[in-house]
Amino acid sequence: MMRRGGGGGGGGGSGWGLMRSFRRDESVTSQKLSAGILRRIARFAAPYRRMLLVFLVLIVLDALLGAANPLIYRGIIDDGILPHNSGVVVQLALLLGVLALSDVVLSLWQRWISARVGEGLIFDMRTQVFAHFQRMPIAFFTRTQTGALVSRLNNDVLDAQQAFTDTFSSVLGNVIGLAITLAAMLLLSWQITLVALALLPITLLPARWVGRRIQGITRESYNLNAKMISTMTERFNVAGALLVKLFGDPIREIHSFEEKAGRVRDIGITQAMYTRVFMAAILLTASLATALVYGWGGVMAAQGALPVGTVVALTAYLNRLYGPLMALSNVQVDIMTALVSFDRVFEVLDLKPMVAEKPDAVAIPDGPATIEFDHVDFSYPRAEEVSLASLESVAVLDQAPSQQVLCDVSFTAEPGQLVALVGPSGAGKTTISHLIPRLYDVRSGAIRINGLDLRDATLESIRRKVGVVTQDAHLFHDTIRANLMYAKPDATEAELDQALRAAQILPLVESLPAGLDTLVGDRGYRLSGGEKQRIAIARLLLKAPGIVVLDEATAHLDSESELAVQLALKTALAGRTSVVIAHRLSTVREADQILVVVDGHIVERGTHPRLLASGGVYAELYRTQFSRQGAAAETSAPQNGAAPDPAEIAKAR
């Protein structure tokens, strides 16, 4: 059989390697690539140019060694065996052994260089893509599919690396090996060589036929596997599993999965049969060519027109002829597949982050924090500004214009003040809270902290200055310790204990068998809602920011959990400038300033008594939303030493 082309030397690739090549989608050749892609690939490979040059020399040497073997066979027969010269036979046999050892050394050397370059490219591309994802704004993640991002980071990077190393070595090795093999065969017998080439369609035509059919079912297999992965991802997390158990039909879920898995099984069987047809065509061609050379060449040798050693050499060269020819017949698809893989990686890297740090950015000045919104207008980014169609699994990005969310918003939060945002759902409260840590940039106007426009501040200083606790606090599937130290990697045990104590969660953590090393589960599902919030507050306290942005974390908790969280919040908010999306009466009563947000406008501002007395939007909102909480608090007031009402706790600010 044919030698592997991946090792260079013009072997042309094994039958299985050729099969992989012919399975590639031919439609890739019609795809339009971005300008300058070859230069960009060259820049990526620039750190490895010396190793690639050595790799090229090794491929040439390996091809020459491989081409020398049939000529040595001829010498052993014509100059050694037929004239009964045992000395020549021994010498040439030893030379074959030396060449075999040399070939092994060269193959190992090639593989080492290929691995070094390939793994280096994977590292370079993967770290660049991951770092780029980290710089993307939150709007990018709200639009794109998580699976698509993971695929770019893993599959596309691997495809690009394999395409570079495997395609580069295969094409180069096949071209060099084929040139040497054809030159040697034509010199030995141009007649037999031309007839051997005429047999190529016996392999090539079935290969094309099989390749086109496998391309179709391979695409279907990829789509089905993607759907199965999506199904498993959605069903195997806690929220998805809970939904299935509460509302789903397990039998229907199993049957749906079995249907997809069964089709993948059938495709696998079909692929196996097509592959066998392909391999049979290769074997048939090799057998027919061998029969031709031995038959025609043997007759010529019997007639004295061709040396016997030449017949054997031609037969040996056949094993090095058809593989490279077939591989190079599909070289356009192989090269385009390689370029498209790189293009998909570059496509992501070319998507510029909307929220970027200026080269001359400066740190936010130290000291008590002041927040200033100065005539801020804001609308969420359009799809083409933050995303790619291929990352959203759509043919064309959403072309709908972005609606303005905030209009001429202005307010100031002085050091140590608590500013409460109230208003109906969808009014723009959460958007305001997202602008303070610069998750988005304003369209016009400015947001300043301690007099510095956030767009002129370093991102690191913003992260250090602003702390956020969301209503649904996110915890990584890791230990309590790791989740806390995410805010302060160098935190000591004493600092961890102090933060947990202030967050009213230390006794619970100490009661756990593994303590701080307890795994919290996917998104913290092993903890209750109140426990998650207190861990999140402890994480905030470790960070010790000057500004706290809070989507009030007690809105959906029971009274006992609410009490514990309110006690923790008392510590978190003390002495810090705070902006809170208010859901509770206790917050709006004690706020230094209340901003009433309606349809992106601040329609009223003031303290709780003043706004109630004005009889405007806030007074109506109070009657419809907050007054019920006040009545409920009065009817459930603690008796006989019971725990105090959370509203009373908040007054201790």
| CA dist list (Å): 98 to 7, 105, 153, 319, 569 | 18, 11, 44, 21, 78
Structural domains of the chain sorted by starting position, each given as residue range(s) with its CATH number in brackets: 15-349 (1.20.1560.10), 371-392+399-650 (3.40.50.300)
DSSP annotation of 553 reads T
Count the alpha carbons within 13 Å of 226 in the hemisphere toward its beta carbon.
14
Other CB atoms within 10 A of residue 374 CB: 16
Going by C-beta distance under 8 Å and a sequence separation of 6 or more, which residues neighbour residue 526?
518, 519, 520
Q: Could you give the strand order of the β-sheet that contains 593-598, starting from the edge strand earlier in sequence? A: 466-469, 547-551, 577-581, 418-422, 593-598, 601-606
Residue-level pLDDT at 634:
46
What tokens were used for 251?
């039998």
Residue-level pLDDT at 647:
35
Residue-level pLDDT at 91:
94
Residue-level pLDDT at 365:
87
What tokens were used for 323?
């593989």
Task: Name the pTM for this structure.
Answer: 0.71
Rama region for 562: left / alpha / beta (φ>0; ψ in -120 to 50; rest): alpha
The Cα 344–Cα 159 span in angstroms is 10
Rg of the chain's alpha carbons, rounded to an integer? 36
Amino acid letter, residue 431: T
Residue-level pLDDT at 650:
34
Regions in the chain scoring below 70 on pLDDT:
1-35, 163, 203, 207, 211, 215, 218-219, 222-223, 226, 230, 329-330, 332-334, 390, 392-400, 552-562, 584-586, 625-653
pLDDT in tens, 622-638: 887 665 555 554 444 44
Going by C-beta distance under 8 Å and a sequence separation of 6 or more, which residues neighbour residue 193?
182, 185, 186, 314
CB 459 within 8 A of CB 447: no
What tokens were used for 200?
């190529």
CA angle, corner 128, sides to 127 and 130, nearest 5? 65
CB 374 within 8 A of CB 448: yes
Residue-level pLDDT at 394:
58
Going by C-beta distance under 8 Å and a sequence separation of 6 or more, which residues neighbour residue 10?
62, 63, 66, 67, 173, 174, 175, 176, 177, 178, 180, 181, 320, 324
